[in-house]
Amino acid sequence: MASPRKLNCPLPDALWAALEARTRNTGETLDQAVVRCLGEALDLSRHSIFQISTSAALVKGVYQGAATVAEVKRHGDFGLGTFENLDGEGMQLDGNCFQAKGDGSVTQPSDATPVPFWVTTRFKADRTETLSEVRSWADLCDRLTKLRTSDNLVAAIRLDGVLDFVHVRTACKSAPGTDLVTAASRQKEFKFEKVQGTLLGFFTPTYARTINVPGYHLHLLTEDRKHGGHVLEVRAARLQALLHLTSDLHLVLPENEEFLKANLTQDPAAALAKAEGGAATNS
């Protein structure tokens, strides 16, 4: 057997000091500590969700960038989010980020683009199933619930196939401080038939509703990368469902004045249901 490859990398003094402090605290050798730290940071040890800001902040209209697309990409290759001033819906698939705007266009934002809210993970399917004859959004949610093992873990969800019908909305750029319900009332809606694409997103437990959007939250990205948005309604003859179950959430809170001063004490459940559910019954 070949001997393992060796890392040969210069480290700043502060990092050496922190590594050495770690080995003193834990009794690990330096090599063990390096392997464990790299494994943690690269999410090898657990299936992790990395999240920027909270749903409670979004509901209160805290839309200023807390991180950038580059930071999102460092922590995952799959996920969803939104952009500064709620300028559209964000989709992240196979490592690339996309922005679906209120005018119906989809672009790839640069790495420097600020994002006020994003949820990302390194997607590896724990379960793969085929869903036949998906009749509605409610039906899809019921079918996905049967594939999950617990309502207390976050699940990342990817659905690929031909969508017989899909109804999406995209948020439109709003003035800073506009609350989410008001902003969502000006959203644009789009309907597509017979389109190849991916629905991507998350199931979030009810208890985490002040942190992330509770229940199922999926965005569309069409295979030609021309259309996308927040999914309100869907029908499909056959979808391939990939589920990635996680037990590890890394939450980064914004440090801007807007977030620090916001009143986030209210339960955002009702506002989230209104803003995120949108015209779901109107399909």
Residues that bind a second copy (CB under 8 A): 3-16, 18-19, 22, 25-26, 30-31, 34-42, 44, 46, 54, 56-57, 70, 73-74, 77, 95, 149-153, 205-211, 247-255, 259-262, 264-265, 267
User: How far apart are the C-alpha atoms of 70 and 105, rounded to whole Å?
Assistant: 22
Residue 234 C-beta: closest distance to a second copy, Å: 25
Shorter beta-carbon distance to a second copy: residue 134 or 211: 211
Contacts of 33 (CB under 8 A, 6+ apart): 19, 22, 23, 26
User: How far apart are the C-alpha atoms of 118 and 109, rounded to whole Å?
Assistant: 14
User: How far apart are the C-alpha atoms of 275 and 192, rounded to whole Å?
Assistant: 21
Residue 274 C-beta: closest distance to a second copy, Å: 18
Rounded alpha-carbon distances, angstroms, from residue 213 to 54, 55, 57, 61, 90: 9, 6, 11, 15, 14
Shorter beta-carbon distance to a second copy: residue 170 or 204: 204
User: How far apart are the C-alpha atoms of 87 and 70, rounded to whole Å?
Assistant: 18
Residue 199 C-beta: closest distance to a second copy, Å: 22
Shorter beta-carbon distance to a second copy: residue 73 or 143: 73
Residue 169 C-beta: closest distance to a second copy, Å: 25
Distance of CA 247 to the CA centre of its chain: 15
Shorter beta-carbon distance to a second copy: residue 72 or 236: 72
> How much is the CA Rg of the chain, to the nearest whole Å?
20
Shorter beta-carbon distance to a second copy: residue 62 or 163: 62
Residue 62 C-beta: closest distance to a second copy, Å: 9
Shorter beta-carbon distance to a second copy: residue 133 or 267: 267
Residue 107 C-beta: closest distance to a second copy, Å: 19
Shorter beta-carbon distance to a second copy: residue 164 or 258: 258
Rounded alpha-carbon distances, angstroms, from residue 188 to 92, 172, 241: 21, 7, 27
Q: Are 216 and 157 in contact (CB under 8 A)?
A: yes
The SS3 assignment for 157 reads: strand
Residue 108 C-beta: closest distance to a second copy, Å: 14
Contacts of 203 (CB under 8 A, 6+ apart): 144, 148, 154, 155, 157, 215, 216, 217
